[in-house]
Amino acid sequence: MQALGVAAVVNPASLTARCLLPSRAVGVRSCSSMTGPKTAKSSLLFRQLFEKESSTYTYLLADVSHPDRPAVMVDPVDKTVERDVALVQQLGLKLLYVVNTHVHADHVTGTGLLKAKVPGVKSAISRASDAKADVHLDAGEKIHFGDLYLEVRPTPGHTKGCVTYVTGEGPEQPSPRMAFTGDALLIRGCGRTDFQGGDASQLYKSVHSQIFSLPKDTLLYPAHDYKGNTVTTVEEELQHNPRLTKDEKEFKRIMQNLGLPYPKMIDVAVPANMVCGIQDPVAMSAV
């Protein structure tokens, strides 16, 4: 298991980042208005951002107790890169990694553009995706930013390379935990399984073993929502997910009968995302 980057920590509770209890006596620090009161070594800055054409969520996490304010971005979209770069700059963050949950089929990732605009940023995606990136992630690996980290959990089934990123476990990590599920689990739904190596049985097993096994209060953040929802929990989905509360046989029947049209951009998005998005913005602008 390889640890990536600078050590880091987060405080979920999303927009209301709150204090972590001190597990190591490192001194009490004063609170910042952005993160709230803080008595622990690390605290998480967290932002959920939305791209409306593809209904995609992008997430920004940073350890704002660390002097470098190291940050990770999850699932950026090409169309909103300017907004995301401005936010990183305004918040004084050092973006270390841009990570994708999978090779998206409905939009072009902003990863390549972010690499061009923010010096030193590394792209990361699962090894199982077969996509090109600076860092290829395997099960159990940790993406460190300051004293915080995201753990990689394989959740194939929507695509063969899908992963869920989960905030760290331990007294200095955010509580409750937060999981960025990509399209494996959507709020009261799940990713389709009819292309990109999709497999309903595999998705069912992935969600039950890797996501529903997390503590019940774990906050679940999907890559998309089409109905205006923003966040759910393991407990909520165990009770109310209309697909994944069924047994596997019924789940497979539901998935075979979704009848969804293919994403409009699939033929453009998949090849672009296999190389982590637009790699040469200068050449692209000349076309």
Ligand X SMILES: N[C@@H](CCC(=O)N[C@@H](CSS)C(=O)NCC(=O)O)C(=O)O
Give min distance, CB of 192 to ligand X, in A: 4
- Binding footprint of Fe ion, residue count (CB under 5 A): 1
Pairing mode, strands 163-167 and 232-233? unpaired
Output b/e per residue, 99-138; b: 16+ Cβ within 10 A.
Answer: bbbbbbbbbbbbbbbbbbbbeebbbbbbbbbebebebbbe
Give min distance, CB of 263 to Fe ion, in A: 8
For ligand X, the closer CB: 40 or 244: 244
CA–CA separation, 267 and 242 (whole Å): 30
Give min distance, CB of 110 to ligand X, in A: 15
Residue window 127-166: x/- pattern of binding to Fe ion, with contact defined by CB under 5 A: ----------------------------------------
- Asked if residue 254 lies in contact with residue 243, where contact means CB atoms within 8 angstroms, the answer is yes
Neighbours of 254 (CB within 10 A): 15
For Fe ion, the closer CB: 96 or 131: 131
Which residues here bind ligand X, judged by CB under 6 A?
A: 54, 105-106, 183, 189, 191-192, 224, 260, 263-265
For ligand X, the closer CB: 10 or 244: 244
Q: 69 is in the binding site of which of Fe ion, ligand X, none (Cβ under 5 to 8 A by kind)? A: none
Q: Which two tokens stand for residue 209?
A: 């073993």
Give min distance, CB of 198 to ligand X, in A: 9
Alpha helices in 173-233 (DSSP H): 200-206
Give min distance, CB of 158 to Fe ion, in A: 6
For ligand X, the closer CB: 63 or 78: 78
Give the gyration radius of the chain's Cα atoms. 18
- Compute φ and ψ for 251, nearest 5 degrees: -60, -45
Q: 278 is in the binding site of which of Fe ion, ligand X, none (Cβ under 5 to 8 A by kind)? A: none
Neighbours of 246 (CB within 10 A): 14
For ligand X, the closer CB: 53 or 82: 53
Instruction: Name residue 96's amino acid.
Output: L
CA–CA separation, 277 and 55 (whole Å): 18
If one asks whether residue 237 binds Fe ion (CB under 5 A), the answer comes out as no
For ligand X, the closer CB: 178 or 269: 269
For ligand X, the closer CB: 24 or 52: 52
Alpha helices in the chain (DSSP H): 81-90, 111-117, 200-206, 234-240, 248-256, 266-273, 281-286
Residue window 178-207: x/- pattern of binding to Fe ion, with contact defined by CB under 5 A: -----x------------------------
Residues of this chain that interact with Fe ion (CB under 5 A) are: 183
